[in-house]
Structure 1
């Protein structure tokens, strides 16, 4: 699908579902990575991630277009066009647009790592477990005011 075909599809969906014309540009943006599409407030254009069409098909593409058209029409009408706005949520339901696009199959699954830093007081040997590193020249032991030293750094899956 080329940009002009996307433009025609967006105009068709806008007219049939919203009953309003789409008067701006819709095009594929190859730089989009983490989202299916976006509505640009300044230019009123809609950008679409072509990978969603290639990997998930036209049904997913139409869902993304509906979602972005909800932003588009509500913004131009001066209504709540953001995800948190009630106007936006109601229009999504009315036109059958998804709230979020699906995950791309090629996208790597997020792996969560938990970093644990263990600091120990040199005087009383009290241990402190921290997620973030601390400045040992600035902070001291809360029990005896002794010097803290980092003893271990562990990464848990």
Structure 2
């Protein structure tokens, strides 16, 4: 009696790895129109961004940028975003007045060009880090003050003198100090 071997347990042959010179870039796919908080594609502000991204792509990377670059007001703390599926770039409109906005564009273009070439496009990849350093892109987005700050208006102390600041009140009859298990008391409440 013969036993059938599942196809999952058969030995897989290794795929041949293409040489770096034989890799072909992904073909440019037509992009679909997106809706939402992105600036419409016909505005002068949008056209200026598209032109800026295309010129930086040619000068810094010697490769054309053939997809869309759009403003996206939903981005709060990041400078931009590269979309893997349709290869378009989103940029935070709060960053456009930053002096190093070109470095933010270079950062997103590093993701774009490396992904299309089939190389390491993620932040932790050596290809990405090397290309980012070569073209002078920014590693992190500058802070534009969009991060939310939490006002801590409840101030507690425990029986051993540990201080705690909280945004919301704590039930002192139910909870104890996390460091020494001492009794908590409300010292001050800000208005």
Q: Sort the TM-score into its range (normalised by shorter chain).
A: 0.5 to 0.7
How much has 1:2 moved relative to structure 2? Answer: 0.5
Within-5 A mapping of 1:95-106: 95-104=135-144
Q: Structure 1: 5+ residue runs without aligned partners?
A: 115-149, 153-157
Equivalent position of 1:127 in the other structure: none
Which structure shows the bigger proportion of residues in strand conformation? 1
How much has 1:31 moved relative to structure 2? Answer: 1.1
- Structure 2 Cα separation of the partners of residues 100 and 50 of structure 1: 16
- 1:27 equivalent to 2:70? Answer yes
Q: Deviations over 1:28-57 (max 9, x none)?
A: 11111121101011110000001111x42x
Which structure shows the bigger proportion of residues in helix conformation? 1
- 2:76–2:146 CA contact under 8 A, matched in 1: no
Among 60, 76, 91, the residue aligned to 1:17: 60
Equivalent position of 1:87 in the other structure: 127
Distance 1:66 1:108, change over 3 A: closer
Q: TM-score, normalised by structure 2?
A: 0.56
- 1:52 equivalent to 2:95? Answer yes
Equivalent position of 2:159 in the other structure: none
- Structure 2 Cα separation of the partners of residues 10 and 108 of structure 1: 24
Q: TM-score, normalised by structure 1?
A: 0.66
- Structure 2 Cα separation of the partners of residues 109 and 10 of structure 1: 26
Distance 1:108 1:74, change over 3 A: closer
How much has 1:60 moved relative to structure 2? Answer: 2.1
CA-atom RMSD in angstroms: 3.7
How much has 1:113 moved relative to structure 2? Answer: 9.4
- Structure 1 Cα separation of the partners of residues 87 and 124 of structure 2: 20
Q: SS in structure 2 opposite 1:82?
A: coil
- Structure 1 Cα separation of the partners of residues 132 and 150 of structure 2: 32
Q: In the comparison of the two structures, how many residue pairs are matched?
A: 140
Q: SS in structure 2 opposite 1:2?
A: helix
Equivalent position of 2:105 in the other structure: 65
